[in-house]
Structure 1
């Protein structure tokens, strides 16, 4: 990430060229004192001198100023995780103000805007009140709209549309989601299979294996994620849906491979049982949720296993790497609050086992 740093650039380029401050001053038509002030940062060259200075050093005006409107993928990743950590240890409004300054400064760097929108979505709940939280989600949605309308990157635009829809879901605006994504589901593209077959035809078995592992992994998480949403319908198939999720989870060892999916499974199962009035099964699922949160989650990062042994290199290519999109402190607090402030568990609040579960979570995760 670069700031305007023209003073250092002028000094460095002048030395590289082997000229004195006096010689540079004569060429530009200013005093030696003016050049000295430029190089020490006491003043900046008049804007009319910039083309002449850039031409003299044979560089662009952007290079002369030491500024770029874009950030590298690595810079964006480092910045995201730095701000994510800051949200857990600094005043929320201070970090949010810093995010807004960065957005303003790099307003044409669409990959950065995308990650700033993700950052806002992942931390909006830390804002003081509901109106503030709503405003942050709306701000994230506006960033997505800018990316969608201005970026020429097809994949980035697609990601922006998906995140915009997520913002509307968090804002409880289902009609906006349907208008954005459409009301019907289109068939899944088979591009991954085509890519794998192409690698097979080319004799590149290693790459074909990697592509197929990635495809299976993504379809697996999509299957489980959709099944978890089915649990929320609370229909007569509740038990069957849950049993099928748990069966798939056991086959692929999801508690270790992707503990977040299993945490959501146990939490939604507990909600369903509690709403049905089955306290015993609800508490059993909450117990599984608690054990998972304490034993399998941290330190959190995306990873493969003995079956998905080609995934780790793929995760490293992600915009945010394999690290969690929120800090460990924020994740732990959300794990606790997801139970305490869940209206579905209101009928369990006075149950001794429920109290033990909350106490255990707070004791092990450090919540309030």
Structure 2
């Protein structure tokens, strides 16, 4: 872990708050005004023996005076995230929340870490303490939003800032604040100039074909999952238009087959199938519903848990890129919870209640029960 000390800005801020001049501070600690000036501009640091006096002068703890910024490496962020994720199945939610908030306070200036902790809250807020799901969503999504705002307002990393803004918008959706989403993001579809094209071209100009290929592969891998999500979300808008719903499902399924989503990113594909099942149930398209439901159960039963992000014979140059992700090769949600939810929603959602008496339901229900009992590997 890299430690960055930022005593200069602290001294400037404290002097202004207390209306103290550089000369007054210098006189108190017994140094020259020029020495204080160098501390504040980062040209030098106070001798360690002066730190207690400086902290006492401004009524601060030494840690607050130093304003140290612990910067975690990508692998450290991955390890902490995955450890906390697993804790949801072994510890009470109150204990996990206490650990989570303690880590947030400790690494508040490590913006990639703070963003990942916001994601952890979004992905697992139902396991945190609260009266009910609505209460938990209101409390913890708002807490995650504040973390994303902190990142967006303080990081110098433009990519991280953009991601934080979009995640903040997602929390606003969950908090049912659509106008604030539009205020934050704007109302028009943004023009997209993919940086990956420029990066790959730069590598190509340097005659580094292998790196250029790796960039394109990682970009296509990401966009394949994003595209699948577009189909999923669009389906939910088409319940009242059966013809377009059917065509969107047909195209989405073909898209998934081209990119082998059932094996490369099964959770994204299962969500697409789930949206299709719910829409077909509302449209009372029984025959097609059972066809898709059978496929859903088959994919779910063949999905290994915990699912791991990986390439294949085509995407054979993405491992290095996956290693750079804050979540690494792991999916962001707890595997046990995800698998059980994918089973429970079919077994318990009231949208499917009318179909559970159909004779075609029984073999699917038995297979789902086996999946739920087997649990993640």
Within-5 A mapping of 1:134-283: 134-234=138-238, 235=241, 236-283=243-290
Task: Tell me the residue number matched to 1:286.
Answer: 293
Change (3 A) 1:163 1:343: farther
Contact conserved, 2:121 with 2:140, CA < 8 A, in 1? yes
Residue deviations 1:281-301, cap 9 Å, x none? 222222211221120242411
- SS of residue in 2 equivalent to 1:366: helix
Instruction: Note the alpha carbon deviations across 1:214-242, whole angstroms, 9 max, x for none.
Output: 22222322222212222112223111111
Q: Does 1:323 align with 2:330?
A: yes
Any conservation in 2 of the 1:85–1:326 contact (CA below 8 Å)? no
CA contact (8 A) 1:332 1:367 kept: no
Contact 1:110 1:147 in 2 (8 A): yes
> Which segment is superposed worse, 165-174 or 176-185?
165-174
Is 115-124 or 162-171 further displaced after alignment? 162-171
How far did 1:95 drift?
0.6
On the 8 A contact 1:336/1:367 being kept in 2, the answer is no
Structure 1 residue ranges without an equivalent (≥5):
4-48, 55-60
Normalising by structure 2, we get a TM-score of: 0.76
Q: Residue 119 in 1 paired to residue 120 in 2?
A: yes
Q: Give the Å deviation of 1:94.
A: 1.4
Q: Is the 8 A contact 1:86 1:95 kept in 2?
A: yes
Q: For the residues of structure 2 that align with 1:96 and 1:161, how far apart are their CA atoms?
A: 24
Distance 1:133 1:333 in 2: 20
Shift of 1:205: 1.0
**1:365 and 2:369 matched:** no
Moved more, 157-166 or 193-202: 193-202
- Following superposition, the deviation at residue 2 of structure 1 comes to 10
Q: 2:49 aligns with which of 38, 46, 51?
A: 51
Alignment partner, residue 108 of structure 2: 107
> Structure 2 unaligned runs (5+)?
4-46, 53-61
Report how far residue 362 of structure 1 moved.
3.0
Instruction: Write the deviation string for residues 231-287 of structure 1: whole angstroms up to 9, x where unpaired.
Output: 112223111111111112222222112212220121111111111011222222222
Q: Distance in 2 between matches of 1:207 and 1:360?
A: 44
Q: Which residue pairs with 2:307 in the alignment?
A: 300
Quote how far apart the aligned CAs of 1:367 are: 8.6
Distance 2:334 2:349 in 1: 22
* 2:117 alignment partner, SS class: helix
Q: Which runs of 4+ in 1 moved over 4 A?
A: none
- C-alpha distance in 1 between matches for 2:293 and 2:260: 19
When the two structures are aligned, how many residues end up with a matched partner? Answer: 315
